[in-house]
Amino acid sequence: MRPVPPRPGADTGRPPTGAHPRPGEHNFPPGHPANAAQFADQGQRLGDPIAGRQQPNPDAARQPNPEQGEWQPDRLGGEVRIPRQQPPGQSSMPPRPPEPEEPRLTLTPPAAAPDAEIIGLTTEMEAIGEHTQKRRRVDETLARFSKVHDELKAEEKARKSKFGKLNPWAAQDAELNEHLDELAQLPGEQTALVAPVDGEPGGTRLQEKKVRKQTQSAKVAKVFVGTMAAVVFLATGAGWGFKKATSDSIDHVRALDPNSASIQNAEGQRGDENFLLVGSDTREGAASEDGVGDANKVPGARSDTMMIAHIPADRSRVVIVSFPRDLEINRPDCERFDPKTSAYTGENVAGHKTAKMNTAYQMGGPLCVTKVVQGISGLKITRFIGIDFNGFKGMVDAVDGVNVCVEKPMFDTFLNKWIVKDAGKDVELKGDQALDFVRARHVRGDVTSDYGRIIRQQRFLSSLLRKAMSAQVLLDPGKLTGFASSFAEATFGDNINIDALLHLGQSMQGLDAGRVTFITVPTVGEANPRGNETLLKEPTDALFRAIINDQPLPGEKPAAPPPASGSPQALPQSAPLRQAQPVDPKTLKIQVLNGGNPTGGIAKRTGDALAGFGYTVVHTNPGPTVPKTVVRYGKGNEAAAQTLASSVPGALLEETPGAGTALILILGPDFKGKVVAPSGTVTQPEPEKLPANLSTVNGGDVSCA
């Protein structure tokens, strides 16, 4: 301990240790004759009070002086002998010579100690050893690392929260990972969660077995989570390098005609996606081992397969419509297309009123095919995808083949070989065999060459769809990457990029295969004198109107029912078809909100249109996301809500607590932009009458081809 200095000015009653006495002062024993002369020279010093010491009481009785040479008690409980005084002149001590006068000592407080590093002191502020200082420096470094880790963890949590809407399971996954980490940290040989204390029994066999099981489960779960992370890395486009390489592999070619006069009800198709899928039979770049021939034997390029994949704005289903390659069409004038360079030459190719469907691609390339398909369907083609033979084979081989049910053996007279010799319910098709299966047009027993092939193509694609959506592919990053790479390397198109496809795929996440329907356009069923398939115009027009209006189709699996009433995610009920007393729209004030409709400015345009029917539109703004267009109203305001719903075909009604007299129209992804004059009836789209013999294949169908 460091000595505590006296307060400044305090008199300790004795000279400081190691200091000389004051001038004229000597340390004589009590009672020495020299003390009297010493005190007399100091005048009043003897009577001065000494700080911190009790002074004698002058009123107290005077005690007799002790006899010299006797023992007397002192104030500390001990005894002290009173020395005998020597007569004057008989002192036993010789007188000291006079000492030179020295300056008077002044007691001053000690100087403040220099600041010391906290790391170099103990809790008592004493200096510590170098080893302890080094240990504390290490502790400080670890503390800084811990702080940085906590900051990074907080940033990661904020990032996950930001994207919570896209990944609603993120919170549960994070909690699961933390639990799995805790379990996985247990050593594989550990038999108890805590080491037993001396004298206490260790873990029982049951406890040891439970811990081992938890450890093994944790390891398996960690492998599964890691695999799923790799899938998410690919499927959500997080692998930037993978996306870039795949996008760069797609050849871009002009194919869209968005301003065509053939497009029907363009406003009603807002938000829909219509992919035109073309399988080209070009042999350009094909090697002999590919087994598809070469450009010398089969020059040029034709559209061997043509399909439209329709995805409505609410992403609730997929409808794929096939066109026979020998369908007779009125081919318009087109610009010539060179398949070798994938470029247009600038030369005009005259139209033909009775041409085969596949000649549109042969003469005018992708853009000519788009014009023909839009003329037949009235759909607005938003994306074009072309793929050649090599790409198809690569995708099939990437998923390690596809199993298809084949009802009877298949022998193609043109190819002069067996395609499937041993028929069965679970025939595995790979590579060249799979390609022959979907290309064969001269199979013994087929009624017509095109229809037999189209049915086989649809069933094969259904099986490929189920395989691609299965755990065998989704949980295998190699297969998933190979499938996407094969698709990209042999693909060309317009308005196609990996980001757009991933976004579309995410919006359709969880779609049941039963909600995918393959349909063939209605035809006479027999070849005409020119050897072409003849289109049935009225049934075809009805089919595509039903598709545009999202009408249920034959063979389509119904949509999943909404959650039970009262559930937080319960959908509003359909509006009653009739109301007793229509309300004058001029007395109604309404709000129009965009609840997730992809069309920009749709709320403003709809509000303006409703104002034309007499409604007072208070404001138009973005609103909460809803799955379907809905009119929300307060209790007792049903008649007014029904009037507004009658102006918006297909709108649902939802009573909302606290809405009062407010009428809120929220436009969902299904809204096509059409409003009508109010009436006493809440209108519903009139269902189209489709032909009874419409050829359909459901994506969930596993029946034989």
Say what the pLDDT of residue 303 is: 61
Q: Is 477 within 8 Å of 230 (Cβ atoms)? A: yes
Q: Report pLDDT digits (tens) over 622-679.
A: 999 888 899 999 888 888 888 898 889 888 888 888 788 889 999 999 898 888 888 7
Confidence of residue 466 (pLDDT cuts 50, 70, 90): confident
Say what the pLDDT of residue 452 is: 83
Q: Report pLDDT digits (tens) over 106-133.
A: 555 555 545 544 444 444 444 566 767 7
State pTM to two decimals.
0.51
Confidence of residue 574 (pLDDT cuts 50, 70, 90): very low
Residue 367 has pLDDT above 90, yes or no: yes
Say what the pLDDT of residue 64 is: 57
Instruction: Report how far residue 580's alpha carbon sits from residue 586's, in angstroms, rounded to the nearest whole number.
Output: 18
Mean pLDDT within 368-377: 96
Mean pLDDT within 478-502: 79
Mean pLDDT within 681-703: 70
Tokens of 644: 């507004």
The dihedral built from the CA positions of residue 560, 564, 565 and 566, taken in this order, carries a sign that is negative
At 222, the amino acid letter reads: K
Quote the mean pLDDT of the chain: 71
Confidence of residue 54 (pLDDT cuts 50, 70, 90): low
In 136-260, which ranges are E strands? 251-252
Which range among 55-64, 129-138, 286-295, 426-435 shows the weakest confidence by mean pLDDT?
286-295
Of the chain, the percentage scoring pLDDT greater than 90 comes to 21
Query: Of residues 342 and 366, which shows the higher confidence score?
Result: 366
Query: Of residues 510 and 461, which shows the higher confidence score?
Result: 461
Say what the pLDDT of residue 211 is: 46
Mean pLDDT within 372-387: 94
Residue 615 has pLDDT above 70, yes or no: yes
Mean pLDDT within 288-298: 45
Instruction: Report how far residue 513's alpha carbon sits from residue 701's, in angstroms, rounded to the nearest whole number.
Output: 9
Instruction: Report how far residue 257's alpha carbon sits from residue 262's, in angstroms, rounded to the nearest whole number.
Output: 10
Bin 207: left if φ > 0, else alpha if -120 < ψ < 50, else beta. Answer: alpha
Mean pLDDT within 203-221: 46
Residue 90 has pLDDT above 80, yes or no: no
Give the H or E element holding residue 3: none
Length of the chain: 705
Q: Report pLDDT digits (tens) over 31-40.
A: 555 555 544 4
Query: Of residues 696 and 333, which shows the higher confidence score?
Result: 333
Which range among 17-26, 223-232, 493-502, 606-615 shows the weakest confidence by mean pLDDT?
223-232
Query: Measuring CA to CA, how many Å separate 419 from each of 113, 290, 293, 398, 439?
Result: 99, 16, 17, 21, 10
Instruction: Report how far residue 232's alpha carbon sits from residue 284's, in angstroms, rounded to the nearest whole number.
Output: 35
Mean pLDDT within 425-433: 89
Residues whose CB is less than 8 angstroms from the CB of residue 43 and which lie 6 or more positions away in sequence, other chains included = none
Query: Of residues 162 and 473, which shows the higher confidence score?
Result: 473
Mean pLDDT within 20-29: 52
Which range among 41-50, 335-344, 444-453 shows the weakest confidence by mean pLDDT?
41-50
Residue 236 has pLDDT above 80, yes or no: no
Q: Which pairs from 108-114 meet CB under 8 Å and 24+ separation?
A: 108/8, 109/5, 109/7, 109/8, 110/5
Query: Of residues 249 and 428, which shows the higher confidence score?
Result: 428
Confidence of residue 470 (pLDDT cuts 50, 70, 90): confident
Q: Is 409 within 8 Å of 305 (Cβ atoms)? A: no
Q: What SS3 class is residue 455?
A: helix
Mean pLDDT within 388-405: 84
Quickly name the fold that domain 251-554 has: Aminopeptidase (3.40.630)
Q: What SS3 class is residue 82?
A: coil
Of the chain, the percentage scoring pLDDT greater than 70 comes to 56
Quick one: which of 472, 546, 104 has its CA closest to 317? 546
Q: Which residues pair with 633 in a beta bridge?
A: 655
Residues whose CB is less than 8 angstroms from the CB of residue 93 and which lie 6 or more positions away in sequence, other chains included = none
Residue 392 has pLDDT above 60, yes or no: yes
Instruction: Report how far residue 643's alpha carbon sits from residue 678's, in angstroms, rounded to the nearest whole number.
Output: 6
Using a 10 angstrom Cβ sphere, with 0-12 exposed, 13-18 middle and 19 or more buried, the burial of residue 416 is exposed
Mean pLDDT within 317-343: 91
Residues whose CB is less than 8 angstroms from the CB of residue 480 and which lie 6 or more positions away in sequence, other chains included = 231, 234, 235, 473, 474
Confidence of residue 291 (pLDDT cuts 50, 70, 90): very low
Tokens of 530: 């020119």
Q: Is 690 within 8 Å of 539 (Cβ atoms)? A: yes
Quick one: which of 327, 309, 330 has its CA closest to 318? 309
Give the H or E element holding residue 627: none
Mean pLDDT within 295-311: 67
Query: Of residues 297 and 527, which shows the higher confidence score?
Result: 527
DSSP 8-state symbol, 668: -
Residue 298 has pLDDT above 50, yes or no: no
